[in-house]
Structure 1
């Protein structure tokens, strides 16, 4: 068997997977086939011996191709969801692929929502949530850091789920809780902080914030309350991607964003985010007092 024939055989072993990935991202059978064919062209022109994980390499390549196609599509506003080919049926893909995605992931309703996302949000969400591609692998495709890729997927996920606020906390209630947390933090009121925190609360900081001296992860209400007691003096209540959070600015520029998850009236998670890519993409708006 020639090297070309061996490579073609290996590609055919991955074709169905690549086809499903491309369809989930693009929502069009025709475009998905075009993306897969382009992936083969790029593979045939590459040094296959230098590729350690062919399946992962092909998935990344298809992701890049689909991202370019999505960006091109956004320049053609006349194209609508109705123009897409019919959804794949159970007979179109092998069972292992069907098990890898949600049962309703090819429905028209999802396609409608996906059309409202930016290309980078759409790709990050599909690759991570439907195919478990790590953010470290998604990041170079969208040209951002892993943390920024995670935020893109998170924003997309909220849109797809149709619930921009975490379950159990509406926007006004979350604002009250975050505002109370910031006040207790500034005042060093340890008991008030404990009352606002879920016993299993987790505080996480990204690599940029860790480099400033923060711990990467803190677990438990007492430990998180101790971390914040007497601090957050410069943090200002802010809407972070539409949710109540906070931001610390230096000379008017955001340095650290405080993102809160609230459920059942208590804070269950806090993220300290300072990655420049994330800060450039995040939507920050005044909380209107």
Structure 2
């Protein structure tokens, strides 16, 4: 393969970071998916991105399905390569987009995974707060569940974004959109405790960068760092199953709707551009009601 292929990827990554302001986690996904396609090009002896034809893309998709990847993963790969080729067209590095005619497979209709209240209580109770890292982790958990914000949004929060008088946080969301999200008394108390004591200890005398959450080296906590923190906390809790940061966001939305919140309010709190993105949680709450009915009603 020619050197231009790698240069194209480098330019695309810079475009995602600078122009699109994508999170590091998203950039890593794009990098992985494009690199995977480059590996396919090597196998097929395709030397240039300009040489890729629609027929080549069909062969690539066949190989993905042979690996038994989920429809969601295949759809992500196609979407990523489509964006990549759109960028290449814009920069006049290719003459046509071979991905344009490829249809994205419909994702399986899976209900969002969430914690039941009893499970979440066990998770919170397992948090130790004797150390600086423990206090940070408890504050992180309370904020993620208390606001339903995305991990990428959480990592961008600065001290100046918090208003303890109103118990709100200014969230910097997707597409440079901002919104104010309230947080409850539990998050309020844990955040104040963390900022007044643990955060200073974690900075270890270094210059304060202003970000709310700090890693053990004193730098800003990253998306990947949050995932590692949650995984370790979950392992200690002795709960079964898996955890991912979005599970707390799903749990926030599900509990809000289950306890009577209206759909529009939850949409605004989550920062969804479209109501259809929020409506998936109504299916979750309906399914929860059905299961409760079937397991408790004498004549179910």
**The TM-score by the shorter chain falls in which range?**
under 0.3
If each structure's strand is expressed as a fraction of its own residues, which one has the higher value? 1
TM-score (norm 1): 0.26
* Structure with more contact order per residue of length (Cα contacts < 8 Å, sep ≥ 6): 2
